[in-house]
Structure 1
């Protein structure tokens, strides 16, 4: 699969290293994500996070790759037959990749990674989409809160420079949009993240 032509914003770095090898299934899922899922998720406010940041970084960061594969697999399944029942073998396969992504993000060694904040925020966004597609709205809301907390911790701790692949304003736009959706379903306790 060909990588998208990515030019990071001024001051932000492209992931280093080489893309990890992919199985045929993974390559197909990433291609489906690029061609179909990104289009379905794009809107004028958040398009850059999908079409540039997450898509590119999924080739370098295993946690993001697994989360993208899980979401893409589930999205393709929902379009092909709409059966997202837990006992479906296809859903089990998507869930396997979802679990791999979560396992990588919660691994204590992961926190030592220089891109931990970027990866945590990006996977959180993907987890929200995955849980929403499954119809697990409380789990999606839990991921929204976690993402907002990570974002606030990074920005509040004056470590926004640790967000190396995308500017903090991009994450802020996404989490503010997700926060608005939280408010719309009745969570008045939500507070939008601030770059302060």
Structure 2
């Protein structure tokens, strides 16, 4: 992803006489790489048939991709800031490309070309990732919302293939956004009202990893939706459609859906093992899905529990999350050769949300501490999740609850945090934890924490 510099007298293989890379040549090399799974080939083919033509014919997309590449290189440099001085010229170039893309996109939007929607969505996705690399959640959320607004203006059955694929990417980004309350760096333990909308869940057969991911993504979205409804109800907000009976019915229906998905996933895994061996990346993809299943199981099981004590019954799931995440990280280390070479930015959801959940909701000291250590071994981003920020949030919440831990290691209900909201200072040197204990005794309290 990083732009590479080459001497003028030594063009890279696949470049023409003008120094321009031959995209078809490079893609043919990439698609022949050993170990590519079906998901990776599908994404590369989408890149070949959709993104590349836009790069050639659409300056707005071209400059957006150049800006993203430059920001990514700048982000990688900043990770090693202690070893080298920041390159302000490089950052200025990235901003210049970003601004050129925005200006050209504004002019392009004025046309009546039916391709404009897809071009705008492609730019929005690129801008979101770009802003996340910059740590600017306000702009990232603004671009995400603009993309969602565009998708609302046309039904899925009338959308072009490119738009349908991009719509899935927006759903993937929007689901975890529920835990960021508003456009600022404010992290909440319960998604607020309207942050996640229910999506139609279809029970489709699982014949591939990508089909399993798509089915689970919708299910995950709907479980987050239930959480937001429970949060509204327990806060005492007036809503005639919300009561214990309706919420319990939704919980039961989702539990049935999650159980069916788990059984179908197990059948798929068993049938695949009997035919061919998994590649390293396929194994990792399956482990990520299993991690999310374990996370959603405890999340759904305790969605109506205001005591926080119910999570103690899900200790096996929390331990499984740790085991799977450790295995996932190990596959990355195997692939990249060392911890130092691990990627610093991953656009898909991986280990961070589940380890975050384990640290916050598991009160077993050993399991909780292990999850925290796993968060520390690999500093990186997964979409909106930043491991540095998550580690500090978890440390603050754990310290809060440990103050009430008794001699036997048990944390009583009144010392367990039920809801929390974290506001990070603009300079990212400190944060405020606003929290309510299980049972609501004491009302909302707050504590200032210095970020390490």
> If the length of structure 2 is used for normalisation, what is the TM-score?
0.30
Distance 1:67 1:102 in 2: 8
Whether the 8 Å contact between 2:68 and 2:129 is mirrored in structure 1 is yes
Superposed, 1:106-121 pairs within 5 Å as 106-107=106-107, 110-121=110-121
Alignment partner of 1:171 is 2:176: no
Counterpart in 1 of 2:241?
none
Further displaced range: 63-72 or 181-190: 181-190
Superposed, 1:97-136 pairs within 5 Å as 97-107=97-107, 110-136=110-136
How far is 1:191 from its partner? 4.5
Superposed, 1:1-196 pairs within 5 Å as 1-4=21-24, 44=39, 47=43, 51-52=47-48, 53-82=50-79, 88-107=88-107, 110-155=110-155, 159-160=158-159, 163=160, 166-186=161-181, 188=192, 189-191=194-196
Distance 1:49 1:190 in 2: 33
- The ranges of structure 1 where at least 4 consecutive aligned residues each deviate by more than 4 angstroms after the TM superposition are 191-195
Gaps of at least 5 residues in structure 2 are 1-20, 31-38, 183-191, 201-452
How far is 1:86 from its partner? 10
Distance 2:109 2:174 in 1: 30
Whether the 8 Å contact between 2:121 and 2:163 is mirrored in structure 1 is no
How far is 1:193 from its partner? 9.5
Whether the 8 Å contact between 2:118 and 2:163 is mirrored in structure 1 is no
SS at match of 1:107: helix
> If the length of structure 1 is used for normalisation, what is the TM-score?
0.64
SS at match of 1:190: coil
Whether the 8 Å contact between 1:3 and 1:56 is mirrored in structure 2 is no
Whether the 8 Å contact between 2:74 and 2:87 is mirrored in structure 1 is no
Flag the 1:88–1:131 CA change in 2: closer, same or farther, 3 A: same
Counterpart in 2 of 1:8?
none
RMSD between superposed Cα atoms in Å: 3.5
Distance 2:95 2:122 in 1: 18
How far is 1:110 from its partner? 4.1
Q: Deviations over 1:54-101 (max 9, x none)?
A: 244212211000000000011122224546x99912111111111111
Structure with a larger share of its residues in strand: 2
Distance 1:49 1:138 in 2: 32
Gaps of at least 5 residues in structure 1 are 6-30, 36-43
Distance 2:134 2:45 in 1: 22
Flag the 1:142–1:87 CA change in 2: closer, same or farther, 3 A: farther
